[in-house]
Amino acid sequence: MLRLLASTCARGLGGRGGSRRLVSRGRARPVAGLCDPSRRLSRQASDAPRNQPPSPEFVARSVGICSMMRLPVQATPEGLDAAFVGVPLDIGTSNRPGARFGPRRIREESVLLRTTNPSTGAVPFQFLRVADLGDVNVNLYNLQDSCRLIRADYQKIVAAGCVPLTLGGDHTITYPILQAIAEKHGPVGLVHVDAHMDMADKALGEKLYHGTPFRRCVDEGLLDCKRVVQIGIRGSSTTLDTYRYSRSQGFRVVLAEDCWLKSLVPLMGEVRQQMGGRPIYISFDIDGLDPAYAPGTGTPEIAGLTPSQALEIIRGCQGLNVVGCDLVEVSPPYDPSGNTALVAANLLFEMLCVLPKVTVA
């Protein structure tokens, strides 16, 4: 029976059975699993067989290791068009911790995802070779060192021509990721969904935490500031300075109030015009959603976006030159139901569906 399941899974995933490997500070280690198509790939991703999440028609959802969408786990980005990557870091948080557990819980909930997006016609696994690259081995005792480790891993991912889709982790992680992205692509446009602008200069004397990533990106010239839009901003603030600063840099700031009770399709039409054909990055903080839909986060704010508006934003990026994405700030201890992580998993799938190589029927 195990041989039958393994052969069925291998056919569904487009690979062969074997031992799984996970990344640990650049070293790979075997991990037991039911089936594993991962192996060193000598062909280009466009010529390689596609990985497919196993169908629940043939493999029970409770079977297999806990990877994103039950995709194969691969030690390196070699041969991949896109990859899911976990960054289990939360020592940059200013309020409730727990986002270090976000990647694991998102992967658990992703078992409910399937391969096709009937709403948009996207079938991403027909066009992309995708795998789960495991987690960055962050240093939970040193935020600066963690950023160094994140940047180093993402430099390798980006250099391999692989588009990273990141499971966070607090929002600090976007800063070193964008350092790696900009190293290859130059300053990028940004679609940033969040309750907060994350444009503070410092707190408690520290210039690096989850409230400062985009200020640091501006400081280092990582963003094409005329192609930055921040959507869903709301909540009380200690000062209006961050609002003024963002707008002074050329950012478009869309308050949550400007999104209430309406479709965001028209807004995203304007955003597509603003972004043009040059590289963009999508950064989605789950607290951009109202806590009624996503309570499992560290800094919730009332009166936020709805999941349907989140879909409109991400689907509105179809046709743009998306070179990376992240979904951050899922804190599972504050949502035992798992619904927040389930929303996050679905949004990451939607991001996969809008990558440039995916042709929509």
pLDDT digits (tens, 9 = 90+) for 320-347: 999 999 999 999 999 999 999 999 999 9
Contacts of 170 (CB under 8 A, 6+ apart): 89, 90, 91, 92, 93, 99, 210, 298, 328, 329
Q: Say what the alpha-carbon torsion angle 117, 321, 23, 294 is, to the nearest 10 degrees.
A: -50
Bridge partners, residue 167, by sequence: 86, 327
Annotated binding residue 287: yes
Bridge partners, residue 244, by sequence: none
Annotated binding residue 210: no
Tell me how crowded residue 346 is: count the other CB atoms within 10 A of its CB.
20
Q: How far apart are CA 156 and CA 142, in angstroms?
A: 22
Q: How far apart are CA 267 and CA 289, in angstroms?
A: 17
Bridge partners, residue 280, by sequence: 189, 322
Annotated binding residue 196: yes
Tell me how crowded residue 267 is: count the other CB atoms within 10 A of its CB.
20
Bridge partners, residue 324, by sequence: 281
pLDDT of the residue at 361: 72
Q: How far apart are CA 159 and CA 359, in angstroms?
A: 24
Q: What is the CATH code of the structural domain delimited by 68-354?
A: 3.40.800.10
């000062």: which residue's tokens?
Answer: 239
DSSP 59: S
Q: Side chain identity at 229, as an amino acid letter?
A: V
Annotated binding residue 132: no
Contact 197, 214 (CB under 8 A): yes
Q: How far apart are CA 54 and CA 72, in angstroms?
A: 10
Sign of the Cα torsion 336, 338, 343, 344 reads positive
Residues (pLDDT < 50) of the chain are: 1-45
